[in-house]
Structure 1
């Protein structure tokens, strides 16, 4: 059992109330009986000491005891432990370090991990919103935080995860995915304007984003082997990353096997519009291919290496500005791809597969509201077609007439 004992300090009596000493000592053993280590904690007030003594014995009985000294570990130290546990791809490792520096370090780095409360997490979320970050990105980073705190709980550094709280209004919770608005979707002439302002040897990559729904890294990793020319289908199984797993190229920057939300051996297929097939063919005729895979895009400054992902984004930003539509990003081209496909009547589940979404729920949450517009267009188109075909029948179709049972027997 925990014992509470007062050990008086040598300060004059009139100074004891203000002195820094903590005379009340709680002595207890960690779980394990006599084999458990003996610990002592000091408190300023007897009430605090009594409360801790009761809590520590209760936690031991419930099997949830946590060493208070461990809870004083700085968040930055726990982050490093979490980050270096297991194995991460270099690109993922670099991405996590960037997220930490830009979003977590200023808020949590020096804080004892046990002192981070649910209120602190809520304040951090509010700060993210004030910086203009979108809900989906905030939720992704909160999931990352929750993983770190979950590791700390599993490692018996803290007793609870401040990112996970009871929600009495669970049914009212909203998805982190926001439905795309009309302002986020470029028109065809705006897409063509951006392509016209891009460097010539990158235009095919932008066509791939707008016409095949590829992400920027996936577009830069197109190869002659990934294009199925006879069936006009593109095999999407690589992506360019700044710190990729580059067994193929042998350099730190290059492609890695697999794409977002898919394992290394997995791939997906997406159709290539006829115009984009011609663009790919013209690109190869003009710029050639390189490497064993027959990659279409090569760095203009470092031959034998892939263009930088960040460099593509800078080129796109400059092109969009020159085209008079600086509000658009490469993601806008994926919005264009989805909405154009929906307007053509293609089922949402097929579009989700082409896009490489983890499941159809993501596609439904972002684009589901657009299907009503597609249905309206389909209704109008069918109405126009059938109106002409049924003209000759007007006035010749008899209205149904109710017949009584007596009439039927008489007949």
Structure 2
């Protein structure tokens, strides 16, 4: 079946028969038209004797759609989406998230299946308000969901509901007045210098290198696993260009970055020495220092670090407080920066946070100084 399209948005006309378009003026079958109404719904009509009648119908439908009041279009959207179940709406919304990387899609699916759909999947879209959202957060709290997972699930729900709000499904923003799950900075257990030194000497050479990379440059676990000697772009600068993606098990783009984007971070001399020593001892593959121990053709996997961390904890020989994890080494980097009076804006950039609010939430309590100290410093400037 061939079809003839008019100008963009006006629709198409066609004949649902075996004749080619060149025979349409002479074949006995009626013309049909297809277009979208003001609510975005596809409409098909038939019974038009000739092409001109079909085009006239498409033209009149297009003019009616353009002339339809905004309220009518909104009411049609509400009629279409308001009765839709949240799961169904989310599937349609997800299809439009083409910018998300494979790992981000996997993370989204996990949050939907384990936290969001079980609580909200069958709810009609028109019934969402701030009480429903607040109830969802309280349900996660009662179920003992970790604070990080709570925050991530809420962020995804927020994106979906804001999309529906832009369509006009809600008179009031269903998130207005909702207190989002907050990361508690006190939960970030940061190793002391003595604990850090003990960790350096506890594991194998690979573990020691990762300790130096995360505590010295603020790298994430996957970024440390992708360390490359060619990324030392200056004696005091390391360029973070990729990470080992925990979902695909391959090298991939950085978190919150497009392919090809990077960030430059400070490279302390101690960390530079650790990189160069490891390269001299074990060699490199295309510049990469760490490879999979069973297959050097594969990237080193972050879970191997976790396995060694668990073995070290299990021995009971180290001072590892409750709540301290491998990621705590990255917290040490931020803490060290802030205690040396490095601006938090620089720390946020080096750590790869896409929003400085994240840095403030986690590390603001580590920033030196107080109102009293600030007053004294300001007084010095005023007296100059």
TM-score normalized by structure 1? Answer: 0.64
Partner Cα separation in structure 2 for residue 67 and residue 341 of structure 1: 51
- Aligned residue for 1:160, secondary structure, equals coil
Equivalent of 2:297 in 296, 304, 327: 304
User: Which residue of structure 2 aligns with residue 118 of structure 1?
Assistant: 130
Partner Cα separation in structure 2 for residue 137 and residue 163 of structure 1: 23
Q: Deviations over 1:32-70 (max 9, x none)?
A: 9xx999xxxxxxxxxxxxxxxxxxxx9955843445464
User: Which residue of structure 2 aligns with residue 89 of structure 1?
Assistant: 101
Contact 1:116 1:162 in 2 (8 A): no
For residue 124 of structure 1, report the CA deviation from its aligned partner.
1.4
Contact 1:343 1:374 in 2 (8 A): no
Equivalent of 2:176 in 166, 191, 196: 166
- Aligned residue for 2:109, secondary structure, equals helix
TM-score normalized by structure 2? Answer: 0.68
- Which 10-residue stretch deviates more, 263-272 or 320-329? 320-329
Change in Cα spacing, 1:272 to 1:125, as seen in structure 2 (3 Å) is same
Structure 2: 5+ residue stretches without partners: 1-36, 45-68, 375-384
Contact 2:222 2:244 in 1 (8 A): yes
Contact 1:146 1:163 in 2 (8 A): no
Change in Cα spacing, 1:346 to 1:149, as seen in structure 2 (3 Å) is closer
Structure 1: 5+ residue stretches without partners: 1-29, 38-57, 244-251, 379-411
Partner Cα separation in structure 2 for residue 231 and residue 341 of structure 1: 19
User: Which residue of structure 1 aligns with residue 365 of structure 2?
Assistant: 369
- 2:223 pairs with 1:218: yes
Contact 2:217 2:333 in 1 (8 A): yes
- 2:273 pairs with 1:265: no
- Aligned residue for 2:252, secondary structure, equals strand
- Aligned residue for 2:341, secondary structure, equals coil
Equivalent of 1:138 in 133, 137, 150: 150
Partner Cα separation in structure 2 for residue 161 and residue 128 of structure 1: 27
Equivalent of 1:176 in 179, 182, 193: 182
Partner Cα separation in structure 2 for residue 335 and residue 224 of structure 1: 24
- Aligned residue for 1:305, secondary structure, equals strand
Equivalent of 1:285 in 275, 280, 286: 280
- Aligned residue for 1:186, secondary structure, equals coil
Partner Cα separation in structure 2 for residue 231 and residue 145 of structure 1: 45
- Aligned residue for 1:372, secondary structure, equals coil
Q: Deviations over 1:84-103 (max 9, x none)?
A: 22423211111111111221
Counterpart mapping for 1:41-80 below 5 A: 60=71, 63-66=74-77, 68=79, 70-80=81-91
- Which 10-residue stretch deviates more, 110-119 or 274-283? 110-119
Q: Deviations over 1:116-136 (max 9, x none)?
A: 443332121012223445556
Q: Which structure: larger Rg? A: 1
For residue 339 of structure 1, report the CA deviation from its aligned partner.
1.6
User: Which residue of structure 1 aligns with residue 241 of structure 2?
Assistant: 237
Partner Cα separation in structure 2 for residue 296 and residue 151 of structure 1: 44
- Aligned residue for 1:269, secondary structure, equals strand
- 2:325 pairs with 1:332: no
Partner Cα separation in structure 2 for residue 341 and residue 234 of structure 1: 16
User: Which residue of structure 1 aligns with residue 250 of structure 2?
Assistant: 254
Contact 1:220 1:307 in 2 (8 A): yes
Contact 2:218 2:330 in 1 (8 A): yes
C-alpha RMSD over aligned residues = 3.7
Change in Cα spacing, 1:375 to 1:364, as seen in structure 2 (3 Å) is same
Contact 1:145 1:163 in 2 (8 A): no
Number of residues paired by the alignment?
Answer: 309
Change in Cα spacing, 1:319 to 1:265, as seen in structure 2 (3 Å) is same
Partner Cα separation in structure 2 for residue 255 and residue 100 of structure 1: 26
Partner Cα separation in structure 2 for residue 278 and residue 375 of structure 1: 40
Q: Deviations over 1:177-197 (max 9, x none)?
A: 43346x722112222333434
- Aligned residue for 1:222, secondary structure, equals coil
Contact 1:210 1:334 in 2 (8 A): yes
- Aligned residue for 2:116, secondary structure, equals helix
